[in-house]
């Protein structure tokens, strides 16, 4: 006996119907889910980019800056605080012209973001001395002609001051034979520790003479 009410459907048509049903169910499920809570917008600078308020002690003075989060410490010093003694040389941490002292340690200010130093004490060459009252290292650089064009000099002086403090604190260097023995204040130690500060004029011997005088070692 034939069944005139039998529904004939192809495999292709069955797959199409099934896919449509699944899509409809997914759409209804998404509509039923609660919306996620709104996220708190980040603070933005005048340019619309994320920014932060950074508080620092720079050369003994408290400063507070609203900075784009991408601002390097070097640019914060030069462009926002107008302390142009710190120089931008290679901008890749290879020349040392941007060296400053942060919390007692010398760093390349072009390689670090200002927002990373919230509350830090920063000393630039302007904070070491004044024209009327030079820091001993500044006076020694003048006496021994430790500069020519002068571009690298601020970084050299900041690094030289920090080097003597490193040796005094017993921090070893690459040439230290025994890490458990306090390093000696010697010309070799000074040369090794200053190797990251490049002087394209070639005043290295004069720089070592200046450091040796301040440190109390014969060059």
pLDDT at 139 over 70: yes
Inside any domain, residue 39: no
In a domain, 36, yes or no: no
Tell whether 108 and 152 lie within a shared domain: no
Domain with residue 58: its CATH number is 3.10.20.30
Q: Are residues 104 and 115 in the same domain?
A: yes
CA distance 126 to 84: 9
Cα 208 to Cα 64, 83, 199, distances in angstroms = 37, 26, 12
Same domain? 115 vs 156: no
Residues 124, 162 within the same domain: no
Cα(209)–Cα(219) distance, integer angstroms: 6
Kindly state whether residues 104 and 145 are assigned to the same domain.
Answer: no
**Conformation bin of residue 216: beta by default, left when phi > 0, alpha when psi is -120 to 50:** left
Q: For residue range 21-55, what is the model confidence (pLDDT) as tens digits?
A: 555 555 555 555 555 444 334 555 566 779 999 99
Q: What pLDDT does 32 receive? A: 54
Q: Tell me: pLDDT of 5 over 90.
A: no
Question: Are the beta carbons of 153 and 99 closer than 8 angstroms?
Answer: no
Is residue 85 included in any domain, yes or no? yes
Q: Is the pLDDT of residue 208 over 80?
A: yes
Is the pLDDT at 195 greater than 90? The verdict is: yes
Dist. CA 211–CA 205, nearest whole Å: 10
Q: What is the pTM of this model?
A: 0.77
Structural domains counted in the chain: 2
Instruction: Give the angle subtended at the CA of 74 by the CAs of 71 and 78, to the nearest 5°.
Output: 100
Q: What distance in Å separates the CA atoms of residue 51 and residue 57, rounded to the nearest whole number?
A: 19
Residue 13 has pLDDT above 70, yes or no: no
| CATH number of the domain to which 187 belongs | 1.10.150.120
Residue 103 is part of which domain span?
Answer: 48-128
Mean pLDDT computed over 13-27: 58
- Does residue 206 share a domain with residue 144? yes
| Longest Cα separation, the chain | 121
**Together in a domain, 207 and 190:** yes
What's the rounded Cα separation, in Å, for the pair 132 and 143? 15
- Summarised one tens digit per residue, pLDDT across range 63-121 is 999 999 999 999 999 999 999 999 999 999 999 999 999 999 999 999 999 999 999 99
Backbone angles phi and psi of 168, in degrees to 5: -60, -35
Which segments within 15-163 are labelled E, that is strand? Answer: 51-58, 61-68, 99-102, 105-108, 121-123
Q: Which of 74, 103, 128 is the last residue of a domain?
A: 128
Distance, CA of 198 to CA of 54 (rounded, Å): 30
């Amino acid at each position: 006996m034939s069944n005139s009410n039998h529904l004939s459907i192809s495999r292709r048509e069955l797959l199409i119907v099934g896919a449509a049903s699944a899509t409809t169910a997914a759409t209804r499920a998404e509509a039923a889910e609660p919306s996620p809570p709104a996220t708190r917008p980040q603070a933005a600078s005048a340019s619309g980019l994320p920014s932060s308020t950074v508080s620092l002690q720079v050369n003994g003075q408290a400063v507070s800056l609203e900075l784009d989060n991408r601002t390097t410490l070097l640019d914060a010093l030069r462009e926002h605080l107008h302390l142009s003694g710190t120089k931008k040389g290679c901008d890749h941490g290879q020349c040392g012209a941007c060296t400053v002292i942060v919390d007692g340690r010398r760093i390349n200010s072009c390689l670090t973001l200002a927002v990373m130093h919230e509350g830090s004490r920063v000393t630039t060459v302007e904070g070491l001395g004044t024209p009327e009252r030079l820091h001993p290292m500044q006076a020694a650089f003048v006496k021994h002609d430790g500069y020519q064009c002068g571009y690298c000099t601020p970084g050299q002086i900041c690094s030289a001051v920090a080097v003597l403090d490193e040796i005094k604190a017993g921090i070893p260097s690459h040439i230290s034979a025994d890490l458990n023995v306090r390093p000696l204040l010697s010309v070799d130690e000074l040369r090794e520790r200053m190797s990251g500060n490049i002087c394209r004029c070639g005043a290295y011997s004069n720089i070592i003479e200046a450091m040796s005088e301040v440190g109390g070692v014969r060059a």
